[in-house]
């Protein structure tokens, strides 16, 4: 080896030493921070991927928090609705007790009415005090806005359960294809309206509510028979009318679930008023097999809607609602077959379920106050059960039974909608987001986290190289001393 003043070996070793020192410093930084990428120069492509993954992870975390809060809010609402449902069941019990007027005193009915008043007041109090994060949940604050319903006698008790995220209003066109009908049957022919029972008759009348066995004594007129049948309609769901040619029995409700049947257990003979022992059978009370009503046939925006008597349900394109047809419109008494209303692109409770704008969902939570419940299928509003109301216990207990049944059905529907949204929308979204979060965390860890086993092994390697470089640098520096020795 030549001995020169310019020691190229020293410069070369210094470069190697600096590189080893830099590498060791980077490894120490990775071990200290736990991150493999601490600056863009560590891994430019990895930094791009890591930034994107972290952004997705942040969105997923926030969406999870939002859905968990949504779950909490809906749980508060559903619990309150459940309590309202329980109170309505107690009111129904009181109303049914009061329907047996024969074995209750006026004082007992008055006491029941007092309890009904207290229960209705409790319902309104629950509606006004059920809050989440300062917002009332059950007073209609979160109802979806509609137009064209107020004053529209063709539509009643409209409840919008959900709406799409469209920014424009949706016009709803309701078309009556076929009318709803009650179940009907001929109870007895008329003979000009003068026929009376000949001998005692036992007859069982059955409807959707149950069966009543009536004893018709000899000599009862058709008007008296109609009164007897109507006196049991709260038990049977069957009423009677006297026509010019017959006594007809009808179901008190519309649709395929409504039915009428008549079974003559004994007797059944009727004759004209001058000959009660008339042997002709044309006027006699008749056995009638079960006859059912007919559901309305309705299309909404050209699509066949679900119907149950006069009740209509519709769900398509993110829009879901239900309503009751006005009796005159639903049964065809109104000649016009078409009616319209508008669902506004506003109102409702909007929730961000996923991480993109397309995963927003809006549900409607209409008011559950007593003035808002009931009213469908020709019933009164629940508030009319209060003392002095049109269906108070001492005024119209039959109407009270129908109203409380309708209100219970509405509340059960609202509660099931809330539960269904939790079960089939929120909970699956939370589960999916948790799985996504796990995958993102694994991906970010693989790209961005330090592998301590690999980094530690590399640190040891660089330490050995660094020490070797320092030792060799010392040897190279001895060359300068050799040159001086020659000069001396």
Tell me the per-residue pLDDT of 413-452, one tens digit each, with 9 for 90 and over: 899 999 999 999 999 999 999 999 999 988 888 887 787 7
Average pLDDT over residues 127-150: 94
What gap in Å lies between CA 99 and CA 404, rounded to an integer?
13
Residue closest to 160 by CA, chosen among 376, 338, 315: 315
Average pLDDT over residues 201-212: 92
* DSSP letter string, 124-154: HHHHHH-EETTEESSSSTBPEEEES-TT-TT
Asked if residue 186 has pLDDT above 50, the reply is: yes
Q: What is the pLDDT of residue 280?
A: 60
Model pLDDT for residues 151-164, shown as the tens digit of each residue: 899 998 899 999 98
> Contact 309/323 with Cβ under 8 angstroms?
no
**What is the three-class DSSP state of 287?**
coil
Q: What is the pLDDT of residue 274?
A: 46
What is the overall mean pLDDT for the chain?
87
Residues with Cβ within 8 Å of 150's Cβ and at least 6 positions away in sequence, in order, are none
Q: What is the pLDDT of residue 421?
A: 93
Asked if residue 192 has pLDDT above 60, the reply is: no
Task: Please indicate whether residue 328 or residue 487 has the higher confidence score (pLDDT).
Answer: 328
Token pair belonging to 320? 């879901």
Task: Please indicate whether residue 1 or residue 451 has the higher confidence score (pLDDT).
Answer: 451
Asked if residue 189 has pLDDT above 90, the reply is: no
Model pLDDT for residues 274-329, shown as the tens digit of each residue: 445 555 667 788 888 899 999 999 999 999 999 999 999 999 988 999 999 999 99
> Contact 46/334 with Cβ under 8 angstroms?
no
Q: What is the pLDDT of residue 97?
A: 87
**What is the three-class DSSP state of 285?**
strand
Task: Please indicate whether residue 19 or residue 408 has the higher confidence score (pLDDT).
Answer: 408
Q: How confident is the model at residue 191 (pLDDT cuts 50, 70, 90)?
A: low
Domains of the chain and CATH, by start: 182-292 (2.60.40)
Asked if residue 480 has pLDDT above 90, the reply is: no
């Amino acid at each position: 080896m030549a001995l020169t003043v310019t020691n190229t070996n020293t410069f070369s070793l210094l470069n190697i030493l600096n590189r080893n020192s830099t590498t060791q410093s980077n490894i120490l930084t990775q071990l200290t921070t736990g991150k493999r990428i601490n600056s863009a120069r560590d891994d430019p492509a990895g930094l791009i991927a890591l930034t994107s993954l972290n952004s997705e992870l942040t969105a997923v975390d926030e969406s999870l928090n939002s859905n968990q809060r949504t779950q909490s809010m809906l749980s508060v609402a559903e619990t309150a609705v459940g309590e309202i449902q329980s109170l309505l069941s107690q009111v129904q019990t009181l109303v049914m007790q009061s329907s047996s007027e024969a074995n209750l005193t006026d004082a007992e009915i008055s006491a029941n009415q007092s309890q009904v008043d207290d229960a209705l007041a409790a319902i309104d109090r629950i509606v006004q005090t059920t809050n989440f994060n300062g917002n009332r949940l059950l007073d209609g604050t979160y109802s979806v806005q509609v137009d064209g319903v107020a004053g529209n006698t063709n539509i009643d008790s409209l409840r919008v359960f959900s709406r799409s995220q469209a920014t424009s209003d949706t016009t709803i066109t309701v078309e009556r294809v076929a009318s709803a009908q009650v179940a009907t049957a001929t109870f007895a022919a008329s003979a000009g309206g003068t026929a009376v029972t000949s001998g005692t008759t036992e007859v069982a009348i059955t409807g959707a509510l149950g069966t009543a066995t009536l004893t018709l004594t000899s000599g009862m007129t058709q008007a008296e028979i109609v009164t007897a049948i109507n006196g049991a309609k709260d038990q049977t769901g069957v009423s009677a009318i006297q026509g010019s040619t017959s006594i007809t029995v009808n179901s008190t409700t519309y649709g395929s679930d409504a039915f009428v049947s008549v079974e003559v257990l004994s007797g059944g003979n009727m004759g004209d008023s001058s000959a009660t022992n008339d042997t002709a059978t044309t006027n006699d009370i008749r056995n009638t097999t079960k006859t059912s009503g007919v559901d309305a046939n309705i299309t909404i925006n050209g699509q066949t809607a679900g119907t149950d008597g006069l009740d209509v349900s519709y769900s398509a394109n993110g829009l879901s609602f239900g309503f009751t047809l006005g009796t005159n419109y639903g049964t065809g008494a109104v000649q016009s077959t078409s009616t319209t209303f508008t669902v506004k692109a506003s109102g409702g409770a909007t929730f961000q379920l996923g991480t993109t704008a397309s995963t927003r969902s809006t549900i409607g939570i209409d008011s559950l106050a007593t003035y808002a419940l009931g009213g469908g299928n020709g019933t009164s509003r629940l508030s009319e059960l209060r003392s002095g109301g049109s269906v108070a216990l001492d005024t119209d207990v039959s109407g009270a039974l129908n109203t409380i049944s309708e209100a219970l059905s509405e509340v059960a529907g609202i509660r099931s909608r809330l539960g269904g949204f939790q079960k089939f929308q929120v909970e699956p979204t939370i589960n999916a987001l948790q799985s996504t979060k796990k995958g993102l965390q694994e991906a970010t860890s693989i790209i961005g986290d330090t592998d301590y086993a690999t980094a530690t092994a590399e640190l040891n390697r660089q330490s050995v190289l660094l020490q070797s470089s320092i030792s060799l640098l010392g040897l190279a520096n001895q060359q300068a001393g050799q040159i001086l020795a020659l000069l001396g």
